[in-house]
Every structure is written in C-alpha cells, then in structure tokens.
Amino acid sequence: MKLPLFPLQICILPDGFTKLRIFEPRYQRLVKESLKNDLGFGACMLAEDSKTLLPVGTRCKIIDFETLEDGLLGVTVVGIEKFELGTYTIEDDGLKRGNVTPVPSWEAQPITEQQVKYTSILKDLLAEYPEHLSQYKLSDFTNLSWVCQRWIEILPLTPTEKQHCIAAKDHQLALTMLNNVLK
C-alpha cells in the first residue's frame, strides 16, 4: 500500500486520537487526498535528529476538521493500524509518499488486579482533557494492550524508546517500561 506520510514529533497508535494543525501546503494536499480516498495517511515519528522517519508508523484517518482561531486548518485523526515503512519518495512540494506494509495489532489482553493502577492513573490523566477522554469507550480501559499503547503515546520517552516498544510483537515491553516508570 502506498500512503502520503506525515512526519510527526508525537506518537499515535491504533485506536489513538489526536488533533493536528495543518499549515504547510504539502500537508493541506495530504488532508485533501485523505478525505477523498479511504486509505488515510501514514503518521511516522521523527527520530531524535528531527529528520529521519522511524520505520514503524500508524495509518490514520481524519474523523473531523475545523478552522482554528488562528485561521489554520485543524484535523482530528484516529490511528487505524500499524505499518512498517519501506521505501519512500519525496514529491516536488516535499510531501513524502511511502510504501507501507500493515503490521498485526497487539492482541487484546484483560487487565489483572495488579494492573488496574495503570488504567486508574491513565483515566485520571485523561480526565484533565475531557474532549480527548470522550473519544474512548469505557471497555477500552479493560484491555491491557490498548492501555499500554495510550501510555506509549503520552509518556515523555525519546522517539527511539517509543519506537522500540511500538515495534515489539506484543505489549510486554511497554508493560515492563510502565512497571519501571509508575512504581
């Protein structure tokens, strides 16, 4: 599958939600294309050098858009599926377009009694952002894999650290990291 790519300093994973400000013409074009087709676009984290695209990204779809107070375009996106980035080209206006291969999502895992703290703390954090919290279903918070992905999105880790967790076959590496961070 070939997708237009949006390099980001932030991380979004499947079932994750974020808002983006669109001001560069190449990304305005990406938005138009994404709204016309059913594929969406690829969100790729940038490495610490702020130039290199990291190899595992997320295919995203635009679920809403608005004109922001400053007149710029704001889009709300949801993560659909992870992918591995193959080769990519750079078009005349600087828009990157990459060959991507979908990667299986982490299998859903029930939350154990010892892991409930991760859900509670996450809910408390998200309660500070009601618009963000409203995008998630209560049942999402009973899935440890989903909870681990939300923590990867919000914890202040380096892009390489996040990428290491994201590229793992399951949530175990992220869970180990959570155990270390939220002791």
Which pLDDT belongs to residue 106? 96
pLDDT of residue 144: 97
Query: Does this model's pTM top 0.85?
Result: yes
Mean pLDDT score across all residues of the chain: 94
For residue 181, the model assigns a pLDDT of 84
pLDDT in tens, the chain (183 residues): 999 999 999 999 999 999 999 999 999 999 999 999 989 999 999 999 999 999 999 999 999 999 999 999 999 999 999 999 999 999 999 999 999 999 999 999 999 998 999 999 999 999 998 888 888 998 999 999 999 999 999 999 999 999 999 999 999 999 998 888 887
Tell me what pLDDT residue 104 has: 95
pLDDT at 132: 81
Torsion angles phi and psi, residue 165, rounded to 5: -70, -45
